[in-house]
A and B are shown apart, each in its own frame.
Chain A
Amino acid sequence: MQTAFRMENLASGYEQVRVFEGLNLTIEEGKVTTIIGPNGCGKSTLLKTIGRILKKQQGTVYLQEQNMQNLSTKDIAKKLAILSQTPIAPGQLKVEELIAYGRYPHRNNVNRLTNKDEEMIEWALTVTNTMEYRNRELAQLSGGQRQRVWLAMALAQETNILLLDEPTTYLDMAHQLEVLDIVKSLNEHHSCTVVMVLHDINHAARYSDHLIAMRKGTIMQTGTPQEILSAEVMRKVFNIDARIMEDPVTNTPVCYGYEILKEDI
């Protein structure tokens, strides 16, 4: 099976700080992969580097077996869409206009929308349940509504791969599941490859096929939710003594309580 991403000897970081290096990883196509880990472990950095938002400092990233360095940024945009953690846009922008921005990589004429463009916008509105406020200004939406609209913009990009950086931050419990449900259904019904960074390990376990656990710039372990949400991995990665059980409704592991372990380093 073709991999969605393959990373060799990848190193990345910001100006003075090298967040991780020597990283080797593959991410499968058609699956939901989630990166988890404590604050500062490099999960967001990794996601941004894969999505070429952050420039890599060393190594190679292969997008569907093609070296990303050899692809133009517009070509990449037709293959993958990224939703960043705190997106901003002018408040007077209308929902439909923002979603239309997502069509950029496919547009030749910036002044007119083609039928295909309109079709994709309609689809994005439908999938994210944002049809009813298509004409409203962004500033008038609630947090949950706005997050779905941003997701719609990413969807309008018509890509097979979606990268989501903490898409559920600042949302309440109901809206968090709302967003994750949409993402899951995209994966199941449209074969979308999803790579996301999540804070909540229970959500990660519930919605993912594959988990990558990081700590301090290193990948500690990768595997299925059952493999990762285990007491031993939780100790290694989060320095917590976790109590794990299986959620009888979703059949996925759940951490229902934990204690902080004494500091190791």
Chain B
Amino acid sequence: MSFSILAISPFLIALVALISVMYGTKDISAITVWQSMTAFDPSDVDHQIIRTGRIPRVAAVLLVGAFLAVAGAVMQGITRNYLASPSLMGVNDGSAFVITLAIVFFPGLPNYQMILLSMLGSALGAGIVFGFGSLIRNGLSPVRLAIIGTVIGTFLSSIATAIAMYFQVSQTVSAWYNTKVHMVNMDMLILSIPFGLTGLILALLSAKAITITSLGEDIAMGLGQKTKAVRIISMLAVVCLTGTAVALVGKIAFVGLVIPHITRFLVGVDYRYIIPCAAVIGAFFLALCDVLSRVVNYPFETPIGVLTALVGVPFFLYLVRKHGGEKRA
């Protein structure tokens, strides 16, 4: 099953990417798209639009979709928590928070440092949430953690807003907070490839270990697995992936929650297959959402978060209905 997914996906992704590039406030024919890539003519307006606007946008969306999906999968596997995801566990919010601080206190930082800070923020957010979770009795249960994550996320958001307001840079900051897929920074995009790739590789490396962990703490220990090391590497993977994603396009919710579940449904419990499949499914999903976000309210753009919520909220409710307060993913 996973092989068929991996086999079909390049085609589906290429298709969705093509549609994404072709349609927008101005429709461009497929031939023109092809020409802009093979025989680029700088004076052709369409070519410019494609190269500087649309292709980077699609690329960003594909990458972020993949990154968030894999991050969510890793989180769910390692914590055995069916609700673990970057947006619910304060990871995204942590990133955004630190980025805000950076914009306020150290404006004009080079992009690669922004990404690093974003990663730091992810770690911070996750640290606070899981830290609190361990303080509370039964705090690491899916439900409790989701509540703590949401609440701390809101808290960090509020503080970030307050700080931005105090230093009167709220305009710039809200630009960060409202996902900015349509203004993708080319440099950031190029930089995000190595960072994100590192995360993906780390995730793949720990895939086997994650599978074992996801089956249960006792099983993992019984098989002599070095749980601590696995945890560290996978958290590093998550931090790389989400840090890059948020630095590139801001916070997008539900991708990291929904896609891993769908992937697990399709390919089973082995994370060596889940991770790559989640990546491609996530990429496809977000690209699709991006296309829809331009179609739904034509000619205006809808924030991509609205579309992911459209899918994510009912799915979330369905998950809650099905799993309630249980611990297993």
Q: Do A and B share a direct contact in the complex (Cβ within 8 angstroms)? A: no
